[in-house]
């Protein structure tokens, strides 16, 4: 058995049995409570796949050169879907004109109407609200 010379919680010297880990019940209970609180919640595998899909969407949607400033593009949705674009994965929603629901992937926004996708970029704008 492993021996401890100091309390695992408060660090005070321990006397007596070599298998003691704590001075008293208070130290043991406090130590165990802190351990439970610090236990990490595992990040689900499926969440990693969704983050990958958002990254892929970003790379597809952000492939246009924006060196000339903010841009607005209208294209056939099917062309984007063919590249692997998955509209259900985005980072936030932006309402415009009370009825246009734009989906955001960081600083790129897209809006789907019928078989068209409208894309615009706001340079440097990342929504975190
Ligand atoms: Zn202690």
- Give the domain ranges of the chain: 1-39, 45-121
User: 110, 102 in Cβ contact below 8 A?
Assistant: yes
Contacts of 104 (CB under 8 A, 6+ apart): 90, 91, 92, 93, 94, 127
For residue 68, the model assigns a pLDDT of: 65
- Model pTM score: 0.61
Residue of 119, 113, 115, 68 whose CA lies nearest to 90: 119
Give residue 38 CA to ligand 1 midpoint distance, Å: 19
Give residue 41 CA to ligand 1 midpoint distance, Å: 28
Residue of 110, 109, 120, 118 whose CA lies nearest to 75: 118
pLDDT, tens digit, for every residue of 69-111? 778 889 999 999 999 999 999 999 988 888 889 999 988 999 9
Residue of 33, 44, 45, 39 whose CA lies nearest to 8: 33
């Amino acid at each position: 058995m492993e021996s401890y010379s100091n309390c695992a919680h408060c660090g005070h010297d321990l006397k007596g049995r070599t298998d003691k880990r704590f001075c008293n019940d208070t130290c043991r209970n406090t130590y165990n409570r802190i351990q439970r609180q610090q236990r990490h919640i595992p990040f689900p595998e499926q969440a990693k796949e969704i983050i990958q899909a958002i990254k892929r969407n970003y790379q597809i949607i952000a492939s246009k050169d924006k060196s000339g400033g903010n841009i607005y593009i209208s294209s056939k949705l099917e062309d984007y879907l063919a590249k692997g674009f998955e509209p259900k994965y985005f980072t936030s929603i932006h309402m415009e004109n009370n009825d246009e629901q734009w989906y955001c992937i960081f600083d790129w926004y897209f809006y789907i109407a019928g078989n068209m996708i409208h894309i615009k970029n706001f340079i440097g704008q990342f929504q975190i609200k």
